[in-house]
Amino acid sequence: MATVTAATSVPPVRAQSARTSLQRSRRWALILSYVFLVIFAAFFLIPPYYMIVTSLKSNAEVAHLSSNPWLLSQGLTFENFRTLIEQTDFLLYFKNTVIVTVCVVVITMVVSVLAAFSLGRMKFWGSGILATGIFLTYLVPDSLLFIPLFQIVRGLGLLNSYWAMVLVYPTLTVPFCTWIMIGYFSSIPKELDEAAMIDGANHMQMLLRIFIPVALPGIIAATIFAFTVSWAAFVYPMAFLYSSDQLVLTVGTVTSLIRADVYQWGMLMAGALLAAAPPLIIYAFLMDYYIAGLTAGATKG
Amino acid sequence: MADVALRDVVKRFDNVEAVRQISLDIPDKEFVVLVGPSGCGKSTTLRMIAGLEEASAGDILIDGEKVNDVPPKDRDIAMVFQNYALYPHMTVFENMSFGLRLRRFPKAQIRERVEQAAKILDITDLLERRPKQLSGGQRQRVAMGRAIVRNPKVFLFDEPLSNLDAKLRVQMRTEIKRVHQKVKTTTVYVTHDQVEAMTLADRVVVMNGGRIEQIGTPQELYHNPKTRFVAGFIGSPAMNFMPARLETNGSGLSLRVSDKLAFPVPAGRTERYRPHVGKDLTFGLRPEHITEPRGEGRDPRCEFTVNLDVVEPMGMETMVFFTVGNTEVCGRVEPTAASGPGQPMRLYANLNHMHLIDPANDQVL
């Protein structure tokens, strides 16, 4: 009996200090994480902020050495945006980029989904080696690959045409997209395939009616990747496109707005912002769907 | 007519034989259960019947036709999986009708079949829900509904109740039996649970190490096991096995179980066992045949007294554990008759249900 009372009298004191020290260490962890998150957020948000401010300034203010680069001191103006859209080929570049990106995303998704399904699901001799091989091709950087690709593109007569981009971007997007999707498909239980097979589905029906709907979050992730790579690619268009009517946004804004050593900062910033807008919108739209797809337990058979 | 036949079927994975020359005949409308421990080849056999695995050798026949090279969708079979395998992005109705929609059945017929199956399984209210909104038992019923709707020649069940909790398992077992009575179709059911096998099957196929140990009705397997494995596998709690020797005792035989304990062999078995006198044998007796002294006309020489080691009251009966020689033995007694642990108790061994096993080949004599 005595031992029981002794046991009940000691713990409250210990529990109290244990609770406090736990709370204390939790609070420290929280404070520390917030500190780093703020630094991180600042690091990533400062450039866009700078871009927005600069794009809304008049050229005079930008050129003025004593003006504060972080604040609009002489009122904002939309002159840069207007000039960019009306007096440069910006809209043409935008149109080209949209055509190239849409085509590349479609080609990439069709090829990657079919490849991932056959390499990940239909076991055939060499499928493992092929899958690894495809991923390894992704490891060769595009800044090296553009040299041999130049020969190929020229040989095909596609030099200085944005269709060369449609041919060449998939070499960047397909390996990685296939790889993520093989990984994603493997998380789908094999019994689902077997149930579909017994229900009477052939491989194509299994892919279209079961796999793709169930693997939608993974497919969306791969689409986002393919879109980003196509939209923001720089090395290949730089190497293969020359005339102004074939340029895409990334290369177009830079080459037309930087003449010799004259940088038209206001318009450059405006161009960069407008170019960044579509990916942002698409992300915002798709991310909700992507996360909803993940958390809805879509892959639980 | 939808009988299933396996003739000398073998399945090899690399160099390992998972299924070794299995031959089995399942007549139309029979409910056959393949039972055995993990890794015995029962699921592999089922998958070969389904067409999900290719047989390395031997023939598989459904309805008299050899189906070795026929793909699963053309074998007219339906399967219920252990983890249900429902399509998560479709409603219950769409899940159940998927097979029919693929085969381009008319819409009205699809609706009729699905509603009929839903009525049998009591899931009519769930038709517009998605699998993630259903409980385990409901999902299993939808999986069964998906199979019933196809009106197949053979139903295949691959451990369908293993993912359910104990209480639900008992409930669903009765459901399955009820459905089989309504939808009389040949069924092959795989489980590792011998209670499921005994309660559901018309005939049980006990498998071990890729081979069939014995085929028979549940009663046959319970009363007349042919091998030590079957004797020990069927029945819960498992049969007691003790080393023993036969001795001549006048004109009859007696079974010596330990220095202090020997039982008279029932007269009807004397001639069967006489050739094995003097050999080392294994004596098998089920716990339900070791009771407190009960029954008129019992042989008083089969009664004995032991000190109990452990007593487990189960409510309806009490399990008593005691030691004979070096073996722990289990008996099932009336709760009121049981004494306590460490206490002596008078028990009666009903030797009419005894089994003797030859340890050299594990065959029951």
For the sheet with B262-264, list strands across it: B262-264, B252-256, B240-249, B280-285, B355-358, B363-364
Name which of A191, A201, A299 is nearest B102 (Cβ-Cβ). Answer: A201
DSSP state of A17: H
Q: Based on the fold, state whether residues A133 and A37 are members of the same structural domain.
A: no
Does A110 map to a domain?
A: yes
CATH of residue B187's domain is 3.40.50.300
The pair of structure tokens assigned to A213 is: 């709907």
Instruction: Give how far Cα A56 sits from Cα of A59, A71, A217, A278, Å.
Output: 9, 10, 38, 20
What's the mean pLDDT when you consider all of chain B?
A: 91
Answer whether A210 sits within 8 Å of B102, measured CB to CB: no
Q: Based on the fold, state whether residues A171 and A275 are members of the same structural domain.
A: yes
Summarize pLDDT for B271-328 with one digit per residue, the tens: 888 888 888 899 999 999 999 898 887 888 888 899 999 999 999 999 999 998 889 9
Answer whether B81 sits within 8 Å of A297, measured CB to CB: no
Residue B283: the pLDDT is 92
Q: Based on the fold, state whether residues B73 and B217 are members of the same structural domain.
A: yes
Gap between the Cα atoms of B360 and B280, Å rounded: 9
Q: Which residue of A has its CA nearest to B156?
A: A198
Contact between residue B136 and residue B163 where contact means Cβ atoms under 8 Å apart: yes
The domain in which residue B171 lies consists of: 4-233
Answer whether B73 sits within 8 Å of A200, measured CB to CB: yes
CATH of residue B350's domain is 2.40.50.140
Answer whether A297 sits within 8 Å of B88, measured CB to CB: yes
Calculate how close chain B gets to A299, using CA atoms only, in Å: 7
Indicate the SS3 state at residue A262: strand
Gap between the Cα atoms of A157 and A168, Å rounded: 13
Q: Which residue of B has its CA nearest to A213?
A: B89
Q: Side-chain half-sphere of A66: how many Cα atoms within 13 Å?
A: 0
Does A2 map to a domain?
A: no
3-state secondary structure chain B: CCCEEEEEEEEEECCEEEEEEEEEEECCCCEEEEECCCCCCHHHHHHHHHCCCCCCEEEEEECCEECCCCCHHHCCEEEECCCCCCCCCCCHHHHHHHHHHHCCCCHHHHHHHHHHHHHHHCCHHHCCCCHHHCCHHHHHHHHHHHHHCCCCCEEEEECCCCCCCHHHHHHHHHHHHHHHHHCCCEEEEEECCHHHHHHHCCEEEEEECCEEEEEECHHHHHHCCCEHHHHHHCCCCCCEEEEEEEEEECCEEEEECCCCCEEECCHHHHHHHHHHCCCEEEEEECHHHEECCCCCCCCHHHEEEEEEEEEEECCCCEEEEEEECCEEEEEEECHHHCCCCCCEEEEEECHHHCEEEECCCCEEC
Q: Does A292 touch chain B (CB under 8 A)?
A: no
Contact between residue B330 and residue B287 where contact means Cβ atoms under 8 Å apart: yes
Contact between residue B159 and residue B43 where contact means Cβ atoms under 8 Å apart: yes
Answer whether B81 sits within 8 Å of A195, measured CB to CB: yes
Which H or E run contains A66? none
Q: Quick one: which of B204, B215, B240, B225 has its CA closest to B362? A: B225
Phi-psi region of B172 (alpha: psi -120 to 50; beta: other; left: phi over 0): alpha
The domain in which residue A267 lies consists of: 84-295
Does A53 map to a domain?
A: yes
B 103-162 → A contacts, CB under 8 A? 103, 131-132, 146, 150
Does A101 map to a domain?
A: yes
Q: Based on the fold, state whether residues B266 and B225 are members of the same structural domain.
A: no
Number of folded domains that form chain B = 2
**pLDDT band (50, 70, 90) for residue B25:** very high
Q: Based on the fold, state whether residues B229 and B250 are members of the same structural domain.
A: no
Does A28 map to a domain?
A: yes
Q: Based on the fold, state whether residues A259 and A136 are members of the same structural domain.
A: yes
Q: Which residue of B has its CA nearest to A299?
A: B88
Q: Based on the fold, state whether residues A184 and A68 are members of the same structural domain.
A: no
Q: Based on the fold, state whether residues B29 and B70 are members of the same structural domain.
A: yes
Phi-psi region of B168 (alpha: psi -120 to 50; beta: other; left: phi over 0): alpha
Q: Based on the fold, state whether residues A124 and A203 are members of the same structural domain.
A: yes
Q: Quick one: which of A220, A189, A290 has its CA closest to A212? A: A220
Residue B299: the pLDDT is 83
Summarize pLDDT for B145-184 with one digit per residue, the tens: 999 999 999 999 999 998 888 888 888 898 899 889 988 8
Answer whether A296 sits within 8 Å of B78, measured CB to CB: no
Contact between residue A153 and residue A164 where contact means Cβ atoms under 8 Å apart: yes
Answer whether A198 sits within 8 Å of B89, measured CB to CB: no
Residue A6: the pLDDT is 46
Which of A47, A62, A77 is at the close of a domain? A77
Q: Quick one: which of B183, B202, B209, B204 has its CA closest to B194? A: B204
Residue A84: the pLDDT is 85
Q: Side-chain half-sphere of B264: how many Cα atoms within 13 Å?
A: 13
**Angle (nearest 5°) at CA A209 between A208 and A215:** 75
**pLDDT band (50, 70, 90) for residue B70:** very high
**Angle (nearest 5°) at CA B196 between B191 and B202:** 95
Q: Which residue of B has its CA nearest to A200?
A: B73
* Cβ neighbours of B65 (radius 10 Å): 9
Contact between residue B188 and residue B49 where contact means Cβ atoms under 8 Å apart: yes
Calculate how close chain B gets to A300, using CA atoms only, in Å: 7
Calculate how close chain B gets to A284, using CA atoms only, in Å: 23
Which of A24, A58, A77 is at the close of a domain? A77
Which of B201, B233, B265 is at the close of a domain? B233
Best of B62, B82, B102, B110 to substitute, by most chain A Cβ atoms within 10 angstroms, is: B102
Report ipTM for this prediction: 0.81
Gap between the Cα atoms of B6 and B66, Å rounded: 10
Contact between residue B77 and residue B154 where contact means Cβ atoms under 8 Å apart: yes
Flag whether pLDDT at B1 surpasses 80: no
CATH of residue A173's domain is 1.10.3720.10
Answer whether B132 sits within 8 Å of A213, measured CB to CB: no
- pLDDT digit of tens for each residue in chain A (301 aa)? 444 444 444 455 555 555 678 888 899 999 999 999 999 999 999 988 888 888 888 777 777 767 777 877 777 888 888 888 888 888 899 999 999 999 999 999 999 999 998 888 887 888 888 888 887 888 888 788 888 989 999 999 988 888 999 999 998 899 989 988 888 888 888 889 899 999 999 888 998 999 898 888 888 888 988 998 899 998 889 889 888 888 898 898 888 887 777 788 888 888 889 998 898 888 888 887 777 666 544 444 3
Q: Based on the fold, state whether residues A111 and A160 are members of the same structural domain.
A: yes
Q: Based on the fold, state whether residues B69 and B194 are members of the same structural domain.
A: yes
Which H or E run contains A258? strand A258-259
Instruction: Give how far Cα A200 sits from Cα of A197, A229, B49, Å.
Output: 5, 39, 16
Weakest mean pLDDT among A128-132, B87-91, B202-206: A128-132
Q: Based on the fold, state whether residues A196 and A220 are members of the same structural domain.
A: yes
Rg (CA), chain A: 27
Q: Does A219 touch chain B (CB under 8 A)?
A: no
Sign of CA dihedral B151, B156, B158, B161: positive
Which of B213, B233, B253 is at the close of a domain? B233
Q: Does B87 touch chain A (CB under 8 A)?
A: yes
**Angle (nearest 5°) at CA A123 between A118 and A126:** 90
Does A288 map to a domain?
A: yes
Answer whether A199 sits within 8 Å of B85, measured CB to CB: no
Answer whether A198 sits within 8 Å of B98, measured CB to CB: no
CA–centroid distance for B87 within its chain: 30
The pair of structure tokens assigned to A299 is: 């892959």
Q: Quick one: which of A19, A172, A4, A20 has its CA closest to A104? A: A172
Does A49 map to a domain?
A: yes
Does B331 map to a domain?
A: yes
Best of A121, A123, A191, A198 to substitute, by most chain B Cβ atoms within 10 angstroms, is: A198
Q: Based on the fold, state whether residues A55 and A118 are members of the same structural domain.
A: no
Q: Based on the fold, state whether residues B271 and B190 are members of the same structural domain.
A: no
Q: Side-chain half-sphere of B174: how many Cα atoms within 13 Å?
A: 4
Q: Based on the fold, state whether residues B46 and B81 are members of the same structural domain.
A: yes
Residue B115: the pLDDT is 93
Among all chains, which residue has been given the structure tokens 């972080």?
A70
Summarize pLDDT for B280-294 with one digit per residue, the tens: 899 999 999 999 898
Best of B87, B95, B100, B162 to substitute, by most chain A Cβ atoms within 10 angstroms, is: B87
Q: Based on the fold, state whether residues B164 and B20 are members of the same structural domain.
A: yes
Indicate the SS3 state at residue A202: coil
Which chain A residues contact residue B98 at CB under 8 A?
196, 199, 209
Indicate the SS3 state at residue A159: coil
Q: Based on the fold, state whether residues B25 and B115 are members of the same structural domain.
A: yes
Q: Based on the fold, state whether residues A29 and A98 are members of the same structural domain.
A: no
Answer whether A199 sits within 8 Å of B81, measured CB to CB: no
Q: Does A297 touch chain B (CB under 8 A)?
A: yes
Number of folded domains that form chain A = 2
* Cβ neighbours of B230 (radius 10 Å): 26
Answer whether B87 sits within 8 Å of A200, measured CB to CB: no
Q: Based on the fold, state whether residues B63 and B129 are members of the same structural domain.
A: yes
Q: How many CB pairs below 8 Å do chains A and B form together? A: 68
Which of B170, B202, B233 is at the close of a domain? B233
Does B238 map to a domain?
A: no
Q: Based on the fold, state whether residues A114 and A239 are members of the same structural domain.
A: yes
Percent of chain B with pLDDT over 90: 59
B251 vs B124, residue with greater confidence: B124
Sign of CA dihedral A176, A178, A184, A186: negative
Residue A86: the pLDDT is 86
Q: Based on the fold, state whether residues B67 and B148 are members of the same structural domain.
A: yes
Q: Based on the fold, state whether residues A121 and A262 are members of the same structural domain.
A: yes
Q: Based on the fold, state whether residues A73 and A118 are members of the same structural domain.
A: no
Answer whether A205 sits within 8 Å of B79, measured CB to CB: no
Does B94 map to a domain?
A: yes
Residue A4: the pLDDT is 46
Measured torsion, CA atoms of residues B55, A196, A178, A97, in degrees rounded to the nearest 10: 150
Q: Based on the fold, state whether residues B217 and B282 are members of the same structural domain.
A: no
